Amino acid sequence: MSSAAVSILVFGVYMAGEASILLIAPNFLFSLFGLPLTQEVWPRVVGVALAVFAYYYIRAAFQEITAFFVITTQGRMLQFVLFSGLVVAGVGQPTLLLFAGVELASGIWTWFALKR
């Protein structure tokens, strides 16, 4: 497995972990980051979407789909910009920057791995 594929696999597993928490105990995650607790269904809907995305990442890693790797570096960096924009606009909690940082760092890791 290439180093770029490993970075994609690790990110896919990270996303699967996030998905699991959102599906099973979303308020646990929210309380850790000072986000408002909720009994609504939307965190679980996001968890389902993350689980599907995690599946894509993990499968793409094992199949060495380099074009997917390139696209995800762009997407993860865009997500960093958009999350940061939400915080700057005052509609997102500053704790979103922690998730944004993971997106940015993992995107940079994949980008460097692709350059090798």
Residue 47, SS3 per DSSP: helix
At position 25, the amino acid (one-letter code) is A
Model confidence pLDDT, tens digit, residues 55-111: 999 999 999 999 999 999 999 999 999 999 999 999 988 988 998 999 999 999 999
Which residue segment(s) compose the domain that 79 sits in? Answer: 3-115
Largest CA distance in the chain: 46
> HSE (CB half, 13 Å, CA atoms) of 21?
12
At position 54, the amino acid (one-letter code) is A
Query: Which residues 6+ apart lie within 8 Å of 44 measured at CB?
Result: 22, 23, 26
Q: Which of 8, 16, 6 lies closest to 68, judged by CA?
A: 8
Give yes or no for residue 20 having a pLDDT over 90: yes
Instruction: Report the distance separating Cα 53 and Cα 35, nearest Å.
Output: 23
Instruction: Report the distance separating Cα 80 and Cα 8, nearest Å.
Output: 17
> Average of pLDDT values for 7-25?
97
CB 5 within 8 A of CB 61: yes
For residue 43, the model assigns a pLDDT of 96
Give yes or no for residue 25 having a pLDDT over 90: yes
pTM over 0.85: yes
- Tell me what percent of the residues of the chain surpass a pLDDT of 90: 86
Number of domains in the chain: 1
Give yes or no for residue 54 having a pLDDT over 90: yes
